[in-house]
């Protein structure tokens, strides 16, 4: 007979498999991060191969999130000597959209790798915050 928290524990394990950090899961459920780790480990005993997949998933997710920061906040365009380019007349900073386009292309390649490995779209997985969790 399953314990009183079996349904909650299954939701916790599923969230961790999708890449949500143990810290954010703990906040969501009002329990400690250590308890989340215990629940996830009990639900998902890992082989060395599974740990490696989890590390790969965390690295891909981290890189995708860094590129997402560039897309959301494009850097200022600069001259060859490092001066910020401003729009004539308005003085507004010109954003470097070539960097944004390159970031979007790289995100696409990361998404393809992630989808190939895990069968999921990386953009649909919860964002990681700090520590990698179990594999998707």
Is residue 14 one of the residues assigned to a domain? yes
Q: How far is CA 82 from CA 57, 74, 85, 87, 92, in A?
A: 36, 16, 9, 16, 17
Work out the percent of the chain whose per-residue pLDDT is above 70.
86
Residue 40 in any domain: the answer is yes
In a domain, 133, yes or no: no
Torsion, Cα 5 7 13 18, to 10 degrees, reads -150
Contacts of 8 (CB under 8 A, 6+ apart): 29
Tell me if 27 is assigned to some domain.
yes
Q: What is the pLDDT of residue 125?
A: 67
Instruction: Report the domain count for the chain.
Output: 1
What whole-number distance in Å separates Cα of residue 73 and Cα of residue 95? 9
Examine residue 69 and state whether it is found in any structural domain, yes or no: yes
pLDDT: which is higher, 53 or 35: 35
Q: What is the pLDDT of residues 6-35, one digit of tens each?
A: 889 988 988 888 778 899 899 999 999 999
Q: pTM to 2 decimals?
A: 0.60
Domain-located, residue 1: no
Note whether residue 60 is domain-resident.
yes
**Residue ranges making up the domain that contains 19:** 6-124
Q: What are phi and psi of 84, to 5 degrees?
A: -75, 135
Decide if 131 is inside a domain. no
């Amino acid at each position: 007979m399953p314990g009183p928290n079996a349904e909650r524990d299954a939701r916790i394990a599923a969230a961790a498999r999708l890449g949500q950090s143990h810290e954010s899961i703990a906040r969501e459920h009002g329990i400690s991060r250590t308890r989340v780790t215990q629940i996830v480990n009990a639900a998902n005993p890992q082989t060395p191969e599974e740990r490696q997949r989890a590390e790969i998933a965390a690295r891909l997710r981290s890189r995708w999130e860094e590129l997402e920061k560039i897309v959301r906040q494009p850097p200022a365009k600069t001259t060859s000597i490092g001066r910020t380019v401003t729009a004539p007349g308005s003085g507004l900073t010109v954003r470097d959209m070539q960097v944004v386009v390159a970031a979007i292309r790289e995100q696409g390649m990361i998404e393809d790798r992630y989808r190939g490995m895990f069968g999921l779209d990386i953009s649909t997985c919860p964002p990681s915050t700090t520590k990698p969790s179990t594999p998707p």
